[in-house]
Amino acid sequence: MSKASERAYAEIRGLILSGDAPPGSSLTEEALADICGVSRTPVREALRRLEAELYVVRSDSQRLYVADWNSEDLAEMFTLRAMLEAHAAARAASRITPQAIDALRACNARIAAAIAGAEADVASFLAENRLFHEITIAAADSPRLATILAALVEQPVVRRTASRYNRTELARSAHEHAELIQAFAARDVEWARAVMTGHIRRAFHAFSAAAPVK
Q: What is the pLDDT of residues 45-77, one digit of tens each?
A: 999 999 888 889 998 898 999 988 777 888 888
Domain definitions of the chain by residue range? 3-66, 71-210
pLDDT-derived band at 155, boundaries 50, 70, 90 = low
Task: Out of 1.10.10.10, 3.30.499.10, 1.20.58.2030, 1.10.287.110, select the CATH number for domain 3-66.
Answer: 1.10.10.10
Counting residues of the chain whose pLDDT is more than 70, the rounded percentage is 91
Q: Across residues 88-117, what is the average pLDDT?
A: 97
Strand, coil or helix: what is 213? coil
Asked if 97 contacts 185 with a C-beta cutoff of 8 angstroms, the reply is no
pLDDT band at 89 (very low <50, low <70, confident <90, very high): very high
Q: Under a CB-based contact definition with an 8 Å cutoff, are residues 78 and 69 in contact?
A: no
- C-alpha pair distances (Å), 105 with each of 63, 126, 175: 45, 16, 11
Higher-scoring residue by pLDDT: 120, 87? 87
Q: Given phi > 0 = left and psi -120 to 50 = alpha, else beta, which region is 22?
A: beta
CATH of 71-210 given 3.20.20.80, 1.10.287.110, 3.40.50.10440, 1.20.120.530:
1.20.120.530
Contact 196, 88 (CB under 8 A): yes
pLDDT at 167: 82
The overall average pLDDT reported for the chain is 88
Residue 214 has pLDDT above 70, yes or no: no
